[in-house]
Each structure stands twice: as structure tokens, then as C-alpha cells.
Structure 1
């Protein structure tokens, strides 16, 4: 006898529950957060749970942000994602990567993404005292990536945010989020990525292949001029 559609649905729900049951309880709780579902023109469609947005069965396009914080001596502050992370654990990436939430404060385009970045810089890295005007908006980037060994992935419209003057000495890491931090110069990162390509998140590897990536290392280093790029680019 074939299982009913209802039965198949229950089997699928149970399978996904098992998938989450093996993960860290705090990280599972974060999967209930509501991300911002958008179209490829960054128009808001509605809310979508972090779990739904990152399930490889769906991979719903949603807003994200990626902070690239450079020290006064032009080193990128990087973090290694903790082993507890559900998506892309134990991989090195840029300073802070997460999502604006489907809330009034964080749905407001660039200002909302910057507010979310301030929230997560403190939550993940213990970095405080960052104001909205400290960020430089360096474009919006659409990309898609799936994990090879788990039913999760990313499909994001990612706001790139440049920050300067903050390094490892400003960090007090949340070990449930971040395993360690490191500062690197551009040439060091290039060599590291060539030697250990599987040690990095897919979005950082995609960012590193763009024409503008190297320019970010010197943006606003000796000037107060704003770049404020809000164009949308596709990463492949």
C-alpha cells in the first residue's frame, strides 16, 4: 500500500526534524528567526524562516550582509565559524556574515542592513560602539551555494559593508558562533586561499574573485569620501 500524501508530508517533516535534532540547541533556535525574502531586484516579498531559507530543498533568496573590517594597518579581520554552526561550520570567512531580520528596524534597505550588522558584530565578536555612519556600502551581491555533506545552503542578496579601524583587539568572541579570529594582509589571504581553498566559505571565495575586492582593502584609508555602491551584482 502506497503512503498517502499526508503520510509523505509527515515523513518529510520527521526527516527534517531529525536533521535538526543532531545540531547545537542554540543554533537550532536561531533557525526560527525570520529573514527577509526578496526578489532579484531586492524588492521585499515577505518573511521566511532561517530554516526554510537555508534548506537545500528550497534555498529561498533572502537579504544578508557581509562585513569586511580592516585594521588601521590594512589587515582584514577574519573569523573562523564555530563547529556548532549549522551552515558552513569550521570555515574561515570575512569579519561577520548574517541576516537583517524581518522587523521594522532591519527591513529598511541599507540602514536596516547596517543595524543588523551592528547587532551581530556585538553578538558574535563582542564588538561595540559601531555607528551606522562608520560603514561604507560596497554593493549588493547575489550568490547561491550548497553544502556537500549536509542539506543546507545559501541563496542570498548580500550587502557588502566596509568598516575600518577595528581588529582582533576589539573582539570578545562568542564561542558558540566563532572559533577564532585572525588578521591578514591581502597577499597573505591570497596565498592562504590558494593553498587551502576548502578552508573558506563559498561567499568569501566568490567575493575574492570580483574586480572590486582588492580595492576594498584601501577604501577610505586616507580619505572620508563615501563609495556607497548600491548596485546589484551576480556572483558565479
Structure 2
């Protein structure tokens, strides 16, 4: 099925629709999102991407990541995709955004303006096997260590954004304690 996503400029201003694979073949900047879900024990829910994904298959990454469809607003997209990939929804808050560009071995190019969201969830996980090969709850310090010891086991965007997410959570915790 052909899917149209949203091409954007460097300020995340919408340019128009672009077919998803065309964006990835030609490295066109497009809107994306990454979701980080924590449980009440402050563990992060990671997913291992299905090895059949068009890029980064078999790698560990944040809880959910995707693109809003053309004419779909970002808020609707984050809840839709979290439900589709992991089988649940929860309240989400945007904490920052960033742009990145990376070339993959299969000649695809990820060029994204990525909005990062966090949330908390303690319920049942029902992952979509077409999207998710495996999942696990993991302590933050374990993730940090594993990224150092096994950097090729994680997606580029996860390694890029993980420390910023943790920094945000620590700053929020300090503000809430004052």
C-alpha cells in the first residue's frame, strides 16, 4: 500500500505530500515522531524492530517511531501509531524536536524532523508482530551501558535522542522537587 507522509522544510513547515519510500530513497526531509514510554519503576520500554522493516530491521529502538500521514495531525498520529505498534495508548507529552540525516547500507536515507514524546504506562503490551520482533522494559543505566557496549544493536535516532530524553527527565524531576 502506498503511504503519503509530510515533507517539511528545516523549520518543520509543511511543504506537501510525498510517498514514504520516495522520501527515503531520495533523502527528502519529512516529519516524524519518536515515543519513549516509561513505567512507574522508571524503566524504558524498548522495541526490537521486525527484521523485515525497510531499514534498521532487527535493531532495538524507542517504544514507537513513525510518520504522520499526509493530512493527519501529529497528535492523532502519535496515538494511532502507538496503538498499532504496541497495542496500547497513554497520555503523551512532546518534550523536544530535532533533525537528523543518516544513510543506510541499503541505499535508503532517513532525513527527519523528529518530534519526541514521552509517556508513562504500566499495563499490558500487545505488540504488532509485523512491526515489532521483541520488546523489553529496561533500566536507564542498563540502556546507557548497552549502547556503549553494543552500539550497532540500536537505531541511529534512538542513540541520538536517548541522552536528551534522560536529560529532560532529570531536569523535570529537579524542578518538581523544588
TM-score (norm 2): 0.91
What residue is the counterpart of 1:8 in the other structure? none
What residue is the counterpart of 1:179 in the other structure? 133
4+ residue segments displaced more than 6 Å: 219-224
What residue is the counterpart of 1:46 in the other structure? 16
In the TM superposition, what whole-angstrom CA distance separates every residue of 1:120-177 from its partner, at most 9, and x where no partner exists?
A: 111111114x3xxx221111110011112x121210000001111x15x421111110
> Given that residues 70 and 217 in structure 1 are in contact (C-alpha distance below 8 angstroms), is that contact kept between their aligned partners in structure 2?
no
Cα deviation, residue 219, structure 1: 7.0
> Given that residues 74 and 217 in structure 1 are in contact (C-alpha distance below 8 angstroms), is that contact kept between their aligned partners in structure 2?
no
Cα deviation, residue 217, structure 1: 3.9
Mark the runs of 5 or more structure 2 residues left unpaired by the alignment.
none
- Larger strand percent: 2
What residue is the counterpart of 2:55 in the other structure? 87
3-state SS, counterpart of residue 147 of structure 2: helix
Whether 2:160 is the aligned partner of 1:206: answer: yes
Larger gyration radius, structure 1 or structure 2 = 1
Cα deviation, residue 114, structure 1: 2.2
Mark the runs of 5 or more structure 1 residues left unpaired by the alignment.
1-28, 107-111, 225-236
Question: Measured at CA, do residues 94 and 202 of structure 1 come closer, stay the same or move farther in structure 2, by a change above 3 Å?
Answer: same
3-state SS, counterpart of residue 174 of structure 1: coil
Count of paired positions: 176
Rounded Cα–Cα distance in structure 2 between residues aligned with 1:223 and 1:172: 34
Whether 2:119 is the aligned partner of 1:163: answer: yes
Q: Output the aligned Cα RMSD.
A: 1.9
What residue is the counterpart of 1:21 in the other structure? none
